[in-house]
Structure 1
């Protein structure tokens, strides 16, 4: 019954809120349909302010049955005589295929061959099988709340209809001799009420259309769980960059979205907004409330403003005050992993001249000055939905995940894709050692007797698989001969190389040497390719067997198109290229190249400060459920990477604190080598999820051919009643966050409110 309500609610809610009209069709030669429409349908339409056209189909131009003017068609015919029936059915087919709604009373009103009839009816999810007869003995099976009295038990004409789509729901059917005959049925695209099934034994009309319409008026928005981003074609570079950050954030989170310009947005009808749960205003152009945006809010939508405060509903609460900002704090409820006792902090100094005074809003982020906290992100319940604000300067790459969590919080519930993967790269190892003393110890002794032993013990204690990236040389040569004398100064690098080869860890490449693969460094592409091939041959000669090197990390995090092209030509088995997430160039985003190699930009590196490492990890985990962490064996010696000159034991302790926090917070988080992560990353970056919200159920449709399980992060203010097609693998009650997994192609989450 509830499924029927939801579907019927969808159909007439479209009727009610669209700026388009409803086309009511009758036949003048019989007048019966006109009378019925005038007495039972039109009063309800007029009561609810729904525009309509009442037309005689016998003189109406079939080609005017178009979704350009009409949202839905309701016909009421008694006879089956109609000129050009095939043309009529073809036009109805086109109408439904273009998202129009069709519902008929009594019959279709045409007589033609079965193929033509079913060409149309199949689009409604039903199949017509003829078999006309009159039942005398039968049991009516019906949904009582949609009838004012018991349906007729007098002899009833029936025909056989086969229901083949799961979304078609039967409101009334007759059961006779173990056969059932649907009489009133409905699907998301329309339906029918056959013969006189809507009368009782006294010939009184008993279908409660008023009740149906009242239910439709309560239809909520967001059936496809999408986000609509609104911008202006004249936006400055500042807002264009913010729009880019939001789009990448949603893309990584597997959240479906569309972008539109202001002029197009204000030309949309309410029907055009029904797929969306959020409207995000990302422009400094003036925002104007309309009847459609008001209805969007009233019916459960969220409107989020990323714009100047003067352009929002809070414009009257602004105070002009100067503040020297020292940090940004995000509420600890946003994510289970935090980097301070107050929540999640980012140190940032700038001046702010505005202060907002809020009442009952929920504040998710503050700007912290010397003497007070200034709200930066907040939301509140408004009518049936939510309105929220995000301070535009916070929409930066290093805060994408937290901005996403703030947006997800501005609804009753929402879901995002979660890759569930982390890669631990060890860059520059095995490393040439030169028997040089640094900080009172020979580099060989530190790398291979202290660091190497401790890092293996660390892997065992946390069950980690490393991806080692070796440079083989630091000679900076871009011309032959390509020798490996540096790697052979001591025996330790070769021993380590062989040990890695026989372990659970993975070996990748930094190149022939530590010279970045940039066109300016390698003017001769043949030399670049030869250097890489020589490096692979050298490793094979040391190990005594052929190898496939799948992982490459760009020295100094720098690479260009020239370098990528020649790297892949030299080593076509390369499937991942490591860069850095903070770089401003085009290789700082996760992306797939033409030969299906994936750019993996690392967000996290080093041992300290722990607050910064946690922040960068939180950022990508809360955006799409993954992070990549880099360390180097020579971090201990580096003034840049160890500016406080901490001892190795201190560095190792910092590393332990970081991974202890990761492991205790997310014990289920998968550690993978770069090559193991590749297929999961590839699918995650290429696949699309489909979302459907039906009542208080959220449905996720996943491509059947993809690698399972799939993982999701669900934020919800409403408790979960049941998960179908998956399971809960973690719950964080302080954050209202669930981690879900699914081995199937459809995951359904049912919430407790569904029982109300």
Structure 2
């Protein structure tokens, strides 16, 4: 070794040799980077469970005791509207329940249940059962009344027991709802209501430690919108805003959690950020808003400004992006395809995404949704329909081959339909022909524009494919999306967001504000999210799908003995994520998991065993 060192020291061109060595190393690194031959990035923290080993939510719920009574009246439109949402809410919370239609029978008894949800705006629908309800709650039952009540004789009898000391026949406009900090994660602030109407009964509540307001109108009047009233050994919980759409589910779930001394329900616990159309071909030329603010081309904006900013946000908040690859933007639907015009950019963006711990999913060969000629876009979109399943397969094969070429060894298992559109037949074709697709991510909220949007719930389908819808989108979140984010954070403990690289180019998505303002608004949302839910798991799409598998299967049963709470988790596999509301106690120690406070009464429980024991302080 010493002779080798002496020989090298006397070598006349050792400086040149060092330079050659450096460049050789750089070439090796660049080769590995560009060829994509060394990918160790798919080391996900949560993996898919084997196909056929999981249950859907409905299958899991079938084995749960039915200790909740869900009452509705099929002859009243508001009751039927509320029923549609509450069937989902109770199912997702894994609350076993019997659904009874008062228009068809009165053969039920409150005494057979621990809780009751009364989807009634007029208490006269209960008839003689009102007395039984009164006695049952007084003896320890918990009753939720989610509909805004009508002021009539039966209401007047019950009003004092609801904590109401004064009311009028007037209904108040609900333009915003203020959620207290202790009631919901992310609360302590107001949220605007989209398309408000006079939906709240004007009431004044008793000033008593037996009555507690959890939400009110976000104005100077502070009209109560959600409150509980202790009555004897039980409690009534009233929701006084009368809106039954998906973005309100978390408010109703939180209301239900007030009915008993302790409420436990499973959640998903995942924060996922999708980048639609990424990696893809970068638009050429310039954009008026980008040129206005930066004086640069669209390509340079993508490469030098937008993507570095997105990477910085990922580093700051621990985000794990799921990019959705699209090969090109031609309009071919006959099965003929072209090679990617810019593989280098596609490869570089994809490499950087993977190195950050992200994931690449499939979006499409082009941006034409998977729809055959039985679909009619009704003038809403100018998309074409595919000539045949063979044509769709040819196009998708081209995308899959490109991804295999550029990212060898990388598992890709998530598909997102372009513009969230996909016919049922095309979805069946996709699952049949491409079994590597384990999860499809559509959208959470329905649209009246078309009847073949890919609208989903969080669940496992009969075919074993995981449904994990995206909930909110863009950088400049509208009021509707902010309320939806609060709701889903408290319902499923989920953030599911998607954005496009060209949001900053499109005036309909905020381009006029400029990228700096869009980035600031997006950062504000991230600050709110990770302050409200500091322990939420940053996941890729595949990891989130794996979490949905476990969530769909899990069931919960509880038993309280003195100062000890015992939780048993049915269909437990390797983990469970749960929300726990302590209404009458403070937790002290935990065995079988970890417990973290989100508010002073709402806790997050991560269980690593099927049986968890909590002792109270």
Q: Shared fold by TM > 0.5?
A: yes
Q: Give the distance between the partners of 2:517 and 2:165, measured in 1 at CA.
A: 52
Aligned equivalent of 1:164: none
Count the aligned residue pairs.
518
Aligned equivalent of 1:739: 604
Compared with structure 1, are the counterparts of its residues 705 and 355 closer, same or farther at alpha carbon in structure 2 (3 Å cutoff)? closer
Q: Give the distance between the partners of 1:713 and 1:413, measured in 2 at CA.
A: 7
Query: What SS does the corresponding residue of 1:514 show, helix, strand or coil?
Result: coil
Q: Give the distance between the partners of 1:444 and 1:477, measured in 2 at CA.
A: 24
Contact residue 578 and residue 601 of structure 1 kept, 8 A: yes
Contact residue 529 and residue 569 of structure 1 kept, 8 A: no
Compared with structure 1, are the counterparts of its residues 716 and 664 closer, same or farther at alpha carbon in structure 2 (3 Å cutoff)? same
Compared with structure 1, are the counterparts of its residues 489 and 560 closer, same or farther at alpha carbon in structure 2 (3 Å cutoff)? same
Query: What SS does the corresponding residue of 2:394 show, helix, strand or coil?
Result: helix
Does 1:558 find its partner at 2:396? no
Aligned equivalent of 1:728: 595
Could you give the per-residue CA deviations for residues 127-181 of structure 1, whole angstroms, max 9, x where no partner exists? xxxxxxxxxxxxxxxxxxxxxxxxxxxxxxxxxxxxxxxxxxxxxxxxxxxxxxx
Q: RMSD over aligned Cα, in angstroms? A: 2.9
Query: What SS does the corresponding residue of 2:405 show, helix, strand or coil?
Result: helix
Higher relative contact order (CA 8 A, sep 6+): 2
Aligned equivalent of 2:396: 532
Alpha-carbon distance, 1:574 to partner: 0.8
Aligned equivalent of 1:39: none
Alpha-carbon distance, 1:345 to partner: 3.9
Give the unaligned 5+ runs of structure 1: 1-222
Does 1:590 find its partner at 2:445? no
Compared with structure 1, are the counterparts of its residues 448 and 470 closer, same or farther at alpha carbon in structure 2 (3 Å cutoff)? same
Compared with structure 1, are the counterparts of its residues 231 and 693 closer, same or farther at alpha carbon in structure 2 (3 Å cutoff)? farther
Q: Give the distance between the partners of 1:290 and 1:496, measured in 2 at CA.
A: 64
Query: What SS does the corresponding residue of 1:459 show, helix, strand or coil?
Result: helix
Aligned pairs for 1:334-733 (under 5 A) are 334-338=183-187, 342-352=189-199, 354-360=201-207, 361-367=211-217, 372-391=221-240, 393-439=242-288, 440=291, 441-484=296-339, 487-489=340-342, 491-519=344-372, 520=375, 521-543=385-407, 545=408, 547-584=410-447, 587-609=455-477, 612-642=480-510, 645-695=512-562, 697-703=564-570, 705-733=572-600
Aligned equivalent of 2:168: 319
Q: Which has the higher strand share?
A: 1
Alpha-carbon distance, 1:687 to partner: 2.8
TM-score by length of structure 1 reads: 0.63
Alpha-carbon distance, 1:615 to partner: 2.4
Query: What SS does the corresponding residue of 2:205 show, helix, strand or coil?
Result: coil
Q: Give the distance between the partners of 2:287 and 2:414, measured in 1 at CA.
A: 30
Alpha-carbon distance, 1:380 to partner: 0.7
Query: What SS does the corresponding residue of 2:177 show, helix, strand or coil?
Result: strand
Does 1:749 find its partner at 2:609? no
Compared with structure 1, are the counterparts of its residues 537 and 254 closer, same or farther at alpha carbon in structure 2 (3 Å cutoff)? same
Aligned equivalent of 2:137: 297
Query: What SS does the corresponding residue of 2:476 show, helix, strand or coil?
Result: coil
Task: Please say which structure displays the higher CA radius of gyration.
Answer: 1
Compared with structure 1, are the counterparts of its residues 322 and 230 closer, same or farther at alpha carbon in structure 2 (3 Å cutoff)? closer
TM-score by length of structure 2 reads: 0.77
Q: Give the distance between the partners of 2:345 and 2:90, measured in 1 at CA.
A: 46
Could you give the per-residue CA deviations for residues 252-308 of structure 1, whole angstroms, max 9, x where no partner exists? 2233333223378743356523xx233434465612345543442122111222343
Compared with structure 1, are the counterparts of its residues 224 and 352 closer, same or farther at alpha carbon in structure 2 (3 Å cutoff)? closer
Aligned equivalent of 2:54: none
Q: Give the distance between the partners of 1:567 and 1:560, measured in 2 at CA.
A: 11
Contact residue 418 and residue 713 of structure 1 kept, 8 A: no
Stretch deviating more after TM superposition (594-603 or 691-700): 691-700
Q: Give the distance between the partners of 2:343 and 2:467, measured in 1 at CA.
A: 34
Stretch deviating more after TM superposition (501-510 or 668-677): 501-510
Compared with structure 1, are the counterparts of its residues 392 and 529 closer, same or farther at alpha carbon in structure 2 (3 Å cutoff)? farther
Aligned equivalent of 1:243: 83
